Structure 1
Amino acid sequence: MKNTQILNNEGYFDNLMKPIVVKQFKGKQKINLNADSARYINTLVVKEYMNEFNNEEIGA
Structure 2
Amino acid sequence: MLQGVTLNSISDGLTGLYNAGTIRAKPVELVEKDGLKGVLFIDIDHFKNLNDTSAHSEGIRF
Q: TM-score, normalised by structure 1?
A: 0.36
Task: Pick the structure with greater CA Rg.
Answer: 2
Greater length-normalized contact order (CA 8 Å, ≥ 6 residues apart): 1
Higher helix share: 1
Q: TM-score, normalised by structure 2?
A: 0.36
